[in-house]
Amino acid sequence: MTTVMGICRSFHDRALARFFHCFPCLSDPARRSSWGLKVTLVMLHLIFVGILFVFDGDLIETTKKEPCYVFDVMRAVNETNVICQKSSMASKQPASSQNGSLNVVIEGSQSGRNFQGSNPSSWTKLVMDMYPPGTSIRSCTCSYCNVEQPPRAKHCHDCDKCVLQFDHHCLWLGSCVGQDNHCKFWWYICEETALCLWTGILYIMYLKANISRAWWKDAIMILLLIALSIVIIFLLLLLLFHSYLVLTNQTTYELVRCRRIPYLRRIPERVYPFSKGICRNLYNFCCVRSSIYSLEPLPSSQELEEKARPYTCLDILACRCC
């Protein structure tokens, strides 16, 4: 028995010595304890998250936030209209907001009403009221989906759907960026930029502390740092660009293709037709509930003249830009 235990102990010591020879960083008990704690924390995260994904099969679908599609809003408006008409005919009274309530906010001074199910109009009439009088219904009907598009909507050929406040189709996320997920896209870019900046700082600190080591290690780190710097520059420019869009209430599609969009051709340069001021633009972008569909009509000629008027000192004191 003693001989067997001695053989096992000797085999264990040889295996440990070989392991420490292959991984000398773990020969120190303090470093070994630190690495063990790090591995344990990572495994705990993997276990907790893995169990959550195993038991909640719809978690991926619910966390993958999609933009607002025109077809979904149109169907909801028409269904609410039918429900309210039936309720009104049955009770001979205007239907209450409990019957087919729908949160569709139509902004702007032309409409300025909250569409919550009390005597709602059909989708076609709702869309046509957002355009100037005399606009042909054919000019605002999508040739692919055959639905009436409100202002700022566009058909995405990758998703094969019309998107409210279409910004662009993100290949990295695999979905469109538009109303209801543009804010999350901005925060995604912000977090990626912060992560890359933090990683770049760690690279620089490593090179400053270990510049006298083997040249090939430094060369690899320098090449990685150069690639990371290019990514950081791209992310910073993208973050600044989308921050500018948020502050002026624009989309990438509207800014790039403004001369190809019929209702934006008459807009003078450096005039933001859908801007409501910096503060309100930020509030609508960050704080408006995702359960509300926001539809913005085209501004009137008087509103465009007001927006095109240059700022004066009194305007700045009166916070006209906000």
Q: What is the pTM of this model?
A: 0.73
Inform me whether the pLDDT recorded for 235 exceeds 60. Answer: yes
pLDDT at 294: 81
Q: Which amino acid, 264?
A: L
Q: Please tell me the distance from the alpha carbon of residue 95 to that of residue 117, in angstroms, as a whole number.
A: 8
Phi, psi of 94 (to 5 degrees): -60, 135
pLDDT (tens digit per residue) in 152-180: 999 999 989 999 999 999 988 888 999 88
Higher pLDDT: 283 or 76? It is: 283
pLDDT in tens, 5-25: 666 676 667 776 776 666 665
Residue 124 has pLDDT above 90, yes or no: no
Q: What was the pLDDT predicted at 121?
A: 55
Reported as a pLDDT band with limits 50, 70 and 90, residue 53 is: low
What pLDDT does residue 232 have? 95
Beta strands in the chain (DSSP E): 104-106, 113-115, 154-156, 161-163, 168-170, 175-177, 293-295
Label residue 309 by pLDDT band (50, 70, 90). confident
Q: Give the residue numbers annotated as catalytic, written as ranges.
A: 170
Is the pLDDT at 144 greater than 70, yes or no?
Answer: yes
